[in-house]
């Protein structure tokens, strides 16, 4: 992103981090003053959180980078008994153990310059604190002594509520840092709960119940399935990263052959993704949009004579459609999601007939072509040309979203790099 970009709501970001820091500091102070209760349980769950942090994802963008640590933290917050014996640790001790273990497990990542991620740590502290405050005082007063089978349902309900709160926190933090609309961010967070988030909640609840019956031996036993799940997700993320690298390499073919300027596909893809975010596209839709934007000019490889500077927006409409159809045919041969080929094929159609992703690619490509060589006033001039274009050429809502994204980034053509 451009160097001068700042969060839209830094006060919200600071407030969330400050709340997490105050809760962590207070919990550590109270625990140091009163001492640890049930040190064996504290050590077992602390080690689990440390292991989870050591196994944390550091490459791919994922909702929960350390699912094993998150599950262990939630299980400790919901721990009511250990091998049939009631525990007496409170909410402050839960937060203190989780904070200390999370920081300890982050030491190797810090040494490599990769952590800890402040947003994820703040979320961990606040969500664990919320769960512990809701559960521990009531358990220690004997409120759940006669609940029977409803006790397990209570744990699941509390974890579900905690997961929803965590989704709101994650969306709020992302909104503060990126200025993307809060609603679509929250929708993506809630959708992600059905994946690794549901596994974290289920493992946390089952682990707390198992420790209550059989003791701390249940901790490693019930950690193993989630660890295997994490490895599976990691392999899936690696496959997706490889696919994206393959697509990016194919997109560079037009640059290597001299059909398009260097970096054009990457700039169009980055700016298209930002516009898609502004329009509220979901994460899967953004992925299709990004891939289509990267490959939007690949049809030019079928031309005998390159278009000057690769500027297809200035070509007659029939020629634009021919190049788009040729590009779609190439994309279909690569094995990429067919929806990407559809976007590439329809980028030259009149906007009322296009899918949203094709409207975005068309407008952003035209903007980038018009603005890149127009000097200091090029971005404003290019936007004005898009607004004054004949009806049916560019979708008005996409052009206005593009203007908002560019305004937030000081009207620089390479908005997201």
**Helix H segments across 372-413?**
378-387, 396-408
pLDDT digits (tens, 9 = 90+) for 285-300: 998 999 999 988 888 8
pLDDT digits (tens, 9 = 90+) for 370-382: 887 666 667 888 8
Q: Is residue 367 part of a domain?
A: yes
Among 240, 266, 284, give the residue marking a domain's end. 240
> Which residues, including other chains, have CB under 8 Å from residue 79's CB and lie 6 or more apart?
41, 45, 87, 89, 208, 211, 212
User: Over 70: is that where the pLDDT of 1 sits?
Assistant: no
Q: Are residues 236 and 257 in the same domain?
A: no
pLDDT at position 63:
62
pLDDT at position 9:
55
Residue 379 to residues 3, 39, 382, 410: CA-CA distances in angstroms?
A: 17, 63, 5, 10
Indicate which CATH number applies to the domain containing 403. Answer: 1.10.3210.10
Q: Are residues 231 and 379 in the same domain?
A: no
Q: Are residues 192 and 47 in the same domain?
A: yes
Q: Is residue 41 part of a domain?
A: yes
- Angle, alpha carbons 348-352-356 (nearest 5°): 75
Query: Residue 414's pLDDT band (boundaries 50, 70, 90)?
Result: very low
Q: Are residues 230 and 286 in the same domain?
A: no
Among 185, 217, 240, give the residue marking a domain's end. 240
Exposed / middle / buried, residue 274 (Cβ in 10 Å: 0-12, 13-18, 19+): buried
Q: Rounded to an integer, what distance in angstroms lies between the CA atom of residue 216 and that of residue 210?
A: 8
Q: Rounded to an integer, what distance in angstroms lies between the CA atom of residue 120 and that of residue 239?
A: 24
Q: Are residues 183 and 312 in the same domain?
A: no
- Angle, alpha carbons 89-94-99 (nearest 5°): 150
Rounded average pLDDT over 176-201 = 81
Q: Is-contact 135 81, C-beta < 8 A? A: no
> Which residues, including other chains, have CB under 8 Å from residue 271's CB and lie 6 or more apart?
364, 367, 368, 402, 405, 414, 415, 416
User: Over 80: is that where the pLDDT of 39 sits?
Assistant: yes
pLDDT digits (tens, 9 = 90+) for 221-255: 888 888 787 777 777 777 777 777 878 787 788 88
pLDDT at position 332:
84
pLDDT at position 110:
76
Q: Are residues 80 and 201 in the same domain?
A: yes
Query: Residue 268's pLDDT band (boundaries 50, 70, 90)?
Result: very high
Q: Are residues 153 and 282 in the same domain?
A: no
Q: Rounded to an integer, what distance in angstroms lies between the CA atom of residue 37 and that of residue 40?
A: 9
- 57-71, 176-190, 267-281, 314-328: segment of lowest average pLDDT: 57-71
What DSSP character marks residue 314? G
Query: Residue 61's pLDDT band (boundaries 50, 70, 90)?
Result: low
Beta-carbon neighbour count of residue 46 at 10 Å? 23
Q: Are residues 205 and 265 in the same domain?
A: no
Find the length of the chain: 417
pLDDT digits (tens, 9 = 90+) for 324-348: 888 888 888 877 788 988 999 888 8
Q: Is residue 247 part of a domain?
A: no
Q: Which residues pair with 86 in a beta bridge?
A: 81
Q: Is residue 310 part of a domain?
A: yes
> What's the mean pLDDT when you consider all of the chain?
83
User: Over 90: is that where the pLDDT of 26 sits?
Assistant: yes
Among 183, 208, 240, give the residue marking a domain's end. 240
Global pTM value: 0.76
User: Over 80: is that where the pLDDT of 412 sits?
Assistant: no
| Number of domains into which the chain is organized | 2
User: Over 50: is that where the pLDDT of 107 sits?
Assistant: yes
The torsion angles phi and psi of 86, rounded to 5 degrees, stand at -60, 145
């Amino acid at each position: 992103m451009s160097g001068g970009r700042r969060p839209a709501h830094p006060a919200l970001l600071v407030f969330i981090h400050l709340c997490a820091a105050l809760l962590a500091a207070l919990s550590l102070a109270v625990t140091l003053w009163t001492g640890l209760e049930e040190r064996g349980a504290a050590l077992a769950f602390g080690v689990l959180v440390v292991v989870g942090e050591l196994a944390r994802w550091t490459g791919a963008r994922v909702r929960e980078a350390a699912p094993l640590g998150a599950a262990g933290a939630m299980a400790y917050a919901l721990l009511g008994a250990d091998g049939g014996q009631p525990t007496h640790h409170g909410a402050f001790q839960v937060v203190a153990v989780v904070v200390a273990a999370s920081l300890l497990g982050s030491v190797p990542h810090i040494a490599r310059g990769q952590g800890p991620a402040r947003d994820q740590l703040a979320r961990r502290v606040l969500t664990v604190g919320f769960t512990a405050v809701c559960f521990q005082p009531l358990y220690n007063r004997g409120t759940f002594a006669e609940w029977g089978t409803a006790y397990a349902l209570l744990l699941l309900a509390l974890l579900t509520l905690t997961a929803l709160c965590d989704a709101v926190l994650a969306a709020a933090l992302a909104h503060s840092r990126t200025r993307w609309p809060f609603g679509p961010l929250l929708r993506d967070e809630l959708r992600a709960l059905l994946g690794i988030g549901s596994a974290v909640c289920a493992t946390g609840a089952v682990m707390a119940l198992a420790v209550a019956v059989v003791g701390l031996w249940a901790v490693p036993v019930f950690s193993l399935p989630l660890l295997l799940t994490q490895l599976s997700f990691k392999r899936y993320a690696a496959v997706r990263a490889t696919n994206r690298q393959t697509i990016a390499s194919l997109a560079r073919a037009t640059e290597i052959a001299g059909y398009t300027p260097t970096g054009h596909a990457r700039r169009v893809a980055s700016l298209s993704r930002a516009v898609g975010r502004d329009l509220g596209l979901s994460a899967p839709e953004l992925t299709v949009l990004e891939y289509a934007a990267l490959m939007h000019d690949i049809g030019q490889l079928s031309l005998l004579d390159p278009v000057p500077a690769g500027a297809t927006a200035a070509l007659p409409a029939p020629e634009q459609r021919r190049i788009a159809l040729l590009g779609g045919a190439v994309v279909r041969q690569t094995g990429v999601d067919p929806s990407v080929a559809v976007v590439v094929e329809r980028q030259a159609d009149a906007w009322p007939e296009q899918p949203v992703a094709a409207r975005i690619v068309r407008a952003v490509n035209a903007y980038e072509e018009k603005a890149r060589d127009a000097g200091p006033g090029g971005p404003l001039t290019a936007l004005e040309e898009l607004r004054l274009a004949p009806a049916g050429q560019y979708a008005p809502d996409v052009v206005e979203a593009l203007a908002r994204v560019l305004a937030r980034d000081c009207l620089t053509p390479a908005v997201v790099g």
